[in-house]
């Protein structure tokens, strides 16, 4: 099985920005943790990060037929990107939406996701383990 983890805008700064919300661990370190998790289960996990909305759409297009599933933390794009929403709807590959923080316990603008409706499911609030649980959802 091959799975793809996509991180969107500002998530390259994980470990440096708002440590009280997102923790002190870097995205590279989180990805290494997830890669180990996959390796132990015979799953190949690839990683992609971009701060550019259209590049995330292209990554979703390219994932179609290449991966059994995509785990997507779109960052703030989650709350307003109809382009990413339409890209998810356009492809056959199932996408699980992820957030490290509990977006419902934060600012009101974070309560709305324009992506959830076209995702297979959503996992949020568990820090780096949100990604792990989302990966696991493809294994059960
Ligand atoms: C986030 C939550 C978003 O609201 C925020 O814009 C992010 C990160 C999370 O992982 O909790 O950049 O997706």
Residue 131 and residue 113: Cα distance in Å, rounded? 17
Q: Is 28 helix (H, G, I), strand (E, B) or coil?
A: helix
Q: Of 70, 99, 101, 102, give the one whose Cα is nearest residue 87.
A: 70
- The residue to mutate among 78, 84, 133, having the most atoms of ligand 1 within 8 angstroms of its beta carbon, is 78
Closest CA to 8 of 99, 111, 82, 117: 99
User: From ligand 1's centre to the CA of 68, what distance in Å?
Assistant: 24
Contact assessment for residue 83 and residue 53, using Cβ atoms and an 8 Å cutoff: yes
User: pLDDT value at position 6?
Assistant: 99
Ligand 1 centroid from CA 76, angstroms: 6
Q: List per-residue pLDDT tens for the chain, 140 residues long.
A: 999 999 999 999 999 999 999 999 999 999 999 999 999 999 999 999 999 999 999 999 999 999 999 999 999 999 999 999 999 999 999 999 999 999 999 999 999 999 999 999 999 999 999 999 999 999 99
Mutate which of 5, 101, 127, 133 for ligand 1 pocket (most atoms within 8 A of beta carbon) = 101
**Cα 74 to middle of ligand 1, angstroms:** 7
Quick check: is 99 catalytic?
yes
Compute the half-sphere exposure of residue 127: CA atoms within 13 Å on the CB side of its CA.
13
- Which of 92, 91, 98, 94 lies closest to 77 in space, CA to CA? 98
**Residue 101 Cα: closest atom of ligand 1:** 11
> How far, in Å, from the CA of 21 to the mean position of ligand 1?
9
Q: So what's the pLDDT on residue 32?
A: 98
Separation CA 19–CA 116 (nearest Å): 26
Structure tokens of 55? 């590049």
Atom of ligand 1 nearest to the CA of 77: 6
CA-to-CA distance for 61 and 66, rounded, in angstroms?
10
């Amino acid at each position: 099985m091959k799975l793809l983890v996509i991180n969107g805008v500002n998530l390259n700064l994980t470990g440096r920005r708002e440590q009280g919300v997102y923790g002190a661990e870097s995205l590279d370190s989180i990805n290494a943790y997830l890669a180990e998790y996959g390796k132990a289960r015979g799953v190949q996990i690839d990683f992609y990060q971009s701060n550019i909305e259209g590049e995330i759409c292209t990554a979703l297009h390219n994932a179609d037929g290449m991966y059994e599933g995509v785990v997507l933390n779109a960052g703030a794009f989650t709350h307003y990107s109809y382009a990413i929403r339409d890209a998810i709807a356009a492809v056959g590959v199932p996408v699980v939406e992820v957030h490290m923080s509990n977006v419902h316990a934060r600012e009101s603008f974070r309560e709305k996701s324009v992506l959830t409706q076209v995702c297979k499911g959503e996992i949020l609030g568990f820090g780096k383990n949100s990604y792990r649980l989302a990966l696991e959802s493809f294994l059960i």
